[in-house]
Amino acid sequence: MGDFGPFGWGAANMGSDPNAGWGSKTTHATANTWSTWERMDAVLDNEANGFQFFIGHNNSTGADRHLWIQIGCGDISGGEIEPRFDLIYNFNNGRGYGGMTIPGQLPVGEEIGFRIRSNRTSETFRWAATYFNQGGFTSPPPHAFLSRIIKYGNPTVAIGVQHTWAAQNSDEVILIDADTDNPIKVMWLCVGANLDDTKHDFWTNLNISIGASGQEEDIVKDIFMTVNDTTNEILPAIHGPFFVNVPVGERLTVHGQTEGLTGGDTLANAGIDVCIMGGN
């Protein structure tokens, strides 16, 4: 499916059938605990050099849904799985999510699967996936793809490091990782509202930086977002990709400020969770 020329790319689906609706996957009965692995594709017949992962939930409870999706390959049904790509999705209420192209390589001849970790227990989400292959390329240029994406920032929870500002328009530093254990060549900033309660309208601006405490140096500037009082969430929730060059052993931080827009705003209602998806 999808190969259409000597310089073309193909797009094919994994494990999802629009005739029968999307696939479904239920989170673990304990919060922030990995679900079982779900097979997405028995064996890829072309090497995938990129993919989109869609997930959604028809739910109107108004709760924040923090999702840590881990895509892996290997023997999914046999339990020998190598985690490859961490994806952090966050949304409030229901709706579909995804759509961004991840330039990750998935190998020919191995099963592809995913598992999910969430703050929501025993909830069933809809999922679907599309992957891209190189079609008829016979002499590919020096493409750059990712073999691994790792979540940085509070590995015990589905999203990230919680932060509440002490003052409006005050530049504050949020430590993401004190000592990164892999190089990062591409990164995405992921945010989510950290409380299941009523939010107020806020604008927020964040920068990504590296370096020792007090000596942080910005590597990505001016990532802007809003918290709004209608859907009680931060949008956009994923920002990137940012092309960087962060070596192993760096101290990774985010810093920035927020401003409330309406009378009666309290900074507790501007609190965020933040983490970084770092690829190499």
Our finding on whether 2 is near another protein (CB under 8 A) is: yes
Give, as one character, the DSSP assignment of residue 270.
Answer: G
Q: DSSP character for 170?
A: -
Separation in Å, CA 172 to CA 164, 194, 255, 269: 10, 17, 5, 16
Which residue from 171, 172, 179, 154 is spatially nearest to 86, judged by alpha carbons?
Answer: 154
Residue 236 in contact with another protein, rule: CB under 8 A:
yes
Q: How far is the CB of 16 from another protein (least distance, A)?
A: 7
Among 225, 252, 254, 275, binds another protein (CB under 8 A): 225
Which of 27, 70, 118, 130 contacts another protein by CB under 8 A? 130
15 binds another protein (CB under 8 A): no
| Distance in Å from the first CA to the final CA of the chain | 29
Q: Which of 29, 30, 109, 144 binds another protein (CB under 8 A)?
A: 144
Yes or no: say if 24 and 17 are a contact pair by the CB < 8 Å rule. no
How far apart (Å, rounded) are the C-alpha atoms in residues 165 and 37? 37
Binding range to another protein, per CB under 8 A, among 39-47, 77-85, 148-156, 197-205: 197-205
Among 80, 217, 221, 249, interactor with another protein by CB under 8 A: 221
Binder of another protein out of 74, 188, 250, 253 (CB under 8 A)? 188
Give the dihedral of Cα atoms 260, 229, 99, 188; nearest 10 deg: 30
Residue 35 vs 92, nearer CB to another protein = 92
Residues numbered 41-80 forming contacts with another protein, rule: CB under 8 A: 49-50, 52, 54, 56-60
Query: Which of 10, 211 has the CB closer to another protein?
Result: 10
